[in-house]
Amino acid sequence: MSRVKQGYRVELAPTAKQRSRLAQHAGLSRVVENFCLALVKAALDQREAERSYGVPDELLTPVPWSAPALEKAWRAAHSTLFPWFGAEGLSSRVPKEACRVRAAGLKNWAVSRTGVRRGRRVGFPTWRKRKHGSRFRYDADRAHPTGPGMITLPGVGPVRTREDMSWLTGRLAYGCARIIGATVREQAGRWWVSFQVDIDRSDIDQRRAVAADAPTCGIDLGLTTFAVVADDSGVVEEVHPPRALKAAQRKLRRANKALARCRTGSSNRAKAARKLAAVHLAVSHRRADFLHQLTTRLARTKRAIAVESLNVAGMVRNRRLARAVSDAGFAEFIRQLEYKAGWYGSKVWAADRWYPSSKMCGDCGVVNAELTLSDRVWTCQCGTLHNRDRNAARNLLAAMHSTA
């Protein structure tokens, strides 16, 4: 039995009273995170002052760095500083998870300073504000489904869902899945709960596993054509992106103008902000739907997939391409393809970042160093006429086969 960690998100259909309770818990999480940060900053400032007086390091004021230390400090202080917490009957699990979130941020910052953590350096945690969004967490299975259309949230009660959860509830009932955490989040006035599930996917993956004789393919990613998929059978498919952000530019412009005209703090401004958020949410959902459908189809129908390693962080620094690159979602495409390939038994092979897939002739192997990004069609010195994207996809496929 192979178990994996998987997310399962479902939209809630709360009543007006439940919306108020959800917002209260989101505010509680924000208060606890800021309380923890203030505690850590005060301790760090005190240590600096003590050092200036010549106090040895072993006698400096300790910093409540870990989640248990922060939670202990919250339990000791909330009855005095935040008496409304007990009076309102809010869930005690939310502060516990807020302390863990803050401790994780502090740990990431500390590890990033040493250079051990991969990726960009992480800054010191900042204050959490309302404009950063409403969200809170429950630990373990405190929040759990009680039926195909009902979820119980501590401190809120049973909340209906807008989607059927039989896929999850059936596996929970048979012991094939276990909830290890839940995050509740508000987006554009709509509430969602995301379950982190430890699940046995063997039955699903076996039914939908890729065939042993399925073709292999190479994929070249681009902006004009999102993906050119070249099979070893000679079939070449061009996948065009929805360009969700570009398609919504007119709506976004009008929504932003309406928001700018409203007076700060007015109810009309709050309505305009929700309308703007709804447009952004629709863009996000449209892009996610496209990426999920494409990656699922590829992982189920291709035995091995060759992709290029793109420096997406570097690409978005180009102000002329940043919006189009962000709209495409290249990094998310690769991420989804990798974990879905593991589910269905296919493999993903990534070429070296400096591999000249576009500039190399697929027939003679000569590299055209003078090829520019605007050259969509080019002729090699051997006389072969190449379509840039198709040639790159075939080269990636050949490179994968040569290393197998």
Residues contacting residue 352 through CB under 8 Å, at least 6 positions apart: 309
pLDDT digits (tens, 9 = 90+) for 347-395: 999 998 888 888 888 778 788 878 777 778 878 878 777 788 888 899 9
Report the chain's mean pLDDT, rounded to a whole number. 91
Separation CA 58–CA 55 (nearest Å)? 8
11 included as an active-site residue: no
Q: What is the mean pLDDT of residues 165-169?
A: 94
Taking the CA atoms of residue 154, residue 158, residue 196 and residue 124 in that order, the dihedral angle to the nearest 10 degrees is -50
> Which pTM was predicted?
0.88
Q: How far is CA 329 from the centre of its chain?
A: 11
Q: How confident is the model at residue 404 (pLDDT cuts 50, 70, 90)?
A: low
Q: What is the mean pLDDT of residues 318-330?
A: 90
pLDDT digits (tens, 9 = 90+) for 79-98: 999 999 989 999 999 999 99
Q: What is the mean pLDDT of residues 37-44?
A: 94
pLDDT at 353: 85
Among the listed residues 97, 220, 231, 327, the single catalytic one is 220
Strand (E) or helix (H) holding 257:
helix 249-261
Quick one: CA dihedral 18, 23, 26, 32, positive or negative? Answer: negative
- pLDDT over threshold 80, residue 11: yes
- pLDDT over threshold 90, residue 203: no
Q: How far is CA 381 from the centre of its chain?
A: 45
352 included as an active-site residue: no
Which stretches of 48-207 are assigned E, i.e. beta strand? 135-139, 144-147, 150-153, 157-160, 177-187, 190-200
Q: Among residues of the chain, what percentage have pLDDT more than 90?
A: 68
- pLDDT over threshold 70, residue 152: yes
Where do the structural domains in the chain lie, given as residue ranges?
A: 3-202, 216-246+292-403
- pLDDT over threshold 90, residue 279: yes
Q: What is the mean pLDDT of residues 240-258?
A: 95
pLDDT at 82: 94
Q: What is the mean pLDDT of residues 126-149?
A: 92
- pLDDT over threshold 70, residue 180: yes
188-197, 245-254, 268-277, 371-380: segment of lowest average pLDDT: 371-380
Structure tokens at 291: 């990426």
Q: How confident is the model at residue 321 (pLDDT cuts 50, 70, 90)?
A: confident
Q: What is the mean pLDDT of residues 140-154?
A: 94
Taking the CA atoms of residue 200, residue 203, residue 204 and residue 206 in that order, the dihedral angle to the nearest 10 degrees is 120
Among the listed residues 33, 97, 231, 389, the single catalytic one is 389
Q: What is the DSSP string of 195-235?
A: EEEEEE-HHHHHHTPPPTTPPEEEEEE-SSSSEEEEETTS-
Q: How confident is the model at residue 1 (pLDDT cuts 50, 70, 90)?
A: very low
147-151, 336-340, 383-387: segment of lowest average pLDDT: 383-387
From its phi and psi, is residue 352 left (phi > 0), alpha (psi between -120 and 50) or beta? beta
Among the listed residues 33, 97, 308, 327, the single catalytic one is 308
pLDDT at 366: 80
200 included as an active-site residue: no
Residues contacting residue 395 through CB under 8 Å, at least 6 positions apart: 218, 357, 358, 360, 362
Q: Which amino acid is at 106?
A: L
- pLDDT over threshold 90, residue 53: no
